[in-house]
Each structure stands twice: as structure tokens, then as C-alpha cells.
Structure 1
Amino acid sequence: MEVAAQLRREVDVLRRVDHPHIAKLEQSFEDDNYLILIMELMEGGELFDAIVDKGRFSEREAVHVARCILSAIQHMHERGVVHRDLKPENMLLAVSTRRGRRQDAANPLNIKIIDFGFAKILKEGATSTSFLGTGGYLAPEILLRQPYGTSVDMWSFGVLTYLLLCGRLPFAATTQLRPNQKIQSLYKLTFPKRYWRG
């Protein structure tokens, strides 16, 4: 996919959405050589780095993050936008978790979704068949190259929620399995008891 076309699509999508948990496009400029996007400042780094640092999130923290993300997904889907690459590397924190700041009710994580380069605007009931996204977060219908809609973002959200709570992806990534074998393994999920109150 051509980078310029991807950036133009991102600008188009970002002009459609306005949500506290989606990074705001402040301005964009294009000339014969460059397309420049100016986004709101987010100083906290990627959610991925926070997950690596913490190992896993408490249930309270995971619920807060999940609510933020789910609210943004609902907003996107109401406007016909499917992100197609939801993962912690595409979510930024407003404030760093590495500066000794405790993330609690008084100082919650402020998450913003970024990187709408793979996003697509779908009319109601429309589907796509493009094979886009990131390995461990891909919905089965993308892997099987079947028509899909906004539900693929919900699959990625489920994978992300599992990652927040368990500190690892739910499905072991291996290049030796065919896509349909990976999907069959989805039914062997485990939730380690040490992470769950009983």
C-alpha cells in the first residue's frame, strides 16, 4: 500500500472522529513532496511499553483501559470506521507511567488510539476482504480471507483485554501453523489462576 495514500486515508478518517480516547489531528499539510500530520501531544509512550513494564494490569486498571478503548471503538463504528489494527503499539498514554506516578483513580491512564493508516470507512452493512492488521490481533475472518466488518475491531479488543490481564497474548504466535490451525487452537484458552480472584 502506498504510504501517501495510507496517510490521506488516515487524515480522512481522523476528520470523521472526535473522541477523548482517539488522538486528535490538529492539522495536516501537503505539498508536492510531503504530507505532514500534526497530532495532539502524547508524552506517555505506547500502551505496549506500559504492559511490558507492569507485566500485567490489575483488574481495576484493565477495566479502566478497556472502557476507554471500547468507548473509542463504539464512536468509530457509529461513524462507519473500522480501525483494523488495534494493538497496544497503536495506543498512546497522555502521561508516562515510568516517572514514578502511580496510576489509580486519582491519576488514571489516559489512553488514545492512533495510527488509522489501515482504517477503512464502511457503509452500513458493507464488508471488506483486505488482509490487513497485526498477527496476534487478527480476527479469524481476516485470517481466512472472508468478508468482514467492524467486528474485527472487537476481536482485537478481546485479545488486548486478555493481554492487559494476563501479560501475554492469548494465542501463541507460531509460523509453523496454517491460519486455520491457529483458529482451531482458540478454544484452548487458559486464564492463569494466580491472576484471577476466585
Structure 2
Amino acid sequence: MQQTQISISLETHKLIESSRQNFSETHDEIIQRALIARQPNQSGQPLTTTPKAIPAFPKQKKTSRFMGTFEWELLGEQYKERSLTNAYQAIISQLDSRQSDFLDCLATKETRARRLVAKNKTDLYKKSKHLAQDHAVEIAKNYWLDTNLSRAQVTKNLQLACVCAKIEFGSDLKVRFTH
């Protein structure tokens, strides 16, 4: 298949992404699905292309995160949760209960766009502070945790958390996140 590169606005990119049905779907597949839905009507006349008449990308309802088995082992003791978010919160809480300065240390750790924990929930998100309203949870008094994370992001954050907890990720803390 021949490919052509096109430039699109950020708003158009957001519309395409909001129409994504699964993470393996390509942008090309999303656009094709939207265009097929806009085929000419029975009289042969093309459907109106104004956004008010028929949205090219209907707003998708929010889907829930995967539920499954999220197991971890901390210093030989095994735990299990039904969601990635619950497992992540529980691990951070367990590590905090073992060391009084754990959350202070974790508050100094950050990724490109986020802090792992913060004393103010809007400080979790460096560029997208609006995410705090739906995705920040209070993990301890005056400490907030970001829960809008993929499995890969949770794993990376737990590796950083192990540094603060002075334990080894993969031996002292083992995670098995499947769904």
C-alpha cells in the first residue's frame, strides 16, 4: 500500500484519537471507518459534510480500564488486586508504611510530563493540570498520586519508587500485571 504524509491540526488529531476503538487500530483505519460511514445516500447525493449535520467522528463514551489479575510480591509477601490502579495505589501505600520519608523522596521523582506524587494534586501534571480533577487520588495526608497511567508507566514509576524505598525492583518487589 502506498502511503502519503499529510499535515493535520491538533484538533483533527484529537478527533481521530477520540474515535479509536482499540490501541492496535491505525490512524488510517480510524479515518477509513469514519469515511465509510459518510457514503452517499440512496439518491446518490453525498451526505452533508458539515460537522453539525453528521459528525465525522462521533464522541466515544468513556471506556473503563481493563480489569483482571494484578499481582505483586513485596519482600516475599504476595498481594492481588482487580485493577491496575488499585494495585499501584496499594504498592505505593505499602512502601510508604515501611519508610517515613518515602513519599518525600518520591515527590522528587518525575517523568517528562508528570510527577509521581505531589503535595498539591494539580502539581502532578506539569502541562495538563485539568487531569487532576479525574485522576489524582490522595494516597496519604497531603500527598496525591497520579492514577491515569498505562501498565508500562506504572511499571516505570514502581522502579523509581523502589529507589526511594531502598529495595530492588524485580527481586524485592515483583509485579505480574495481566488481564
TM-score category, normalised to shorter length: under 0.3
Tell which has more relative contact order, 1 or 2 (C-alpha 8 A, sep 6+): 1
Q: TM-score, normalised by structure 2?
A: 0.23
Normalized per residue, the structure richer in helix is: 1
Normalized per residue, the structure richer in strand is: 2
Q: TM-score, normalised by structure 1?
A: 0.22
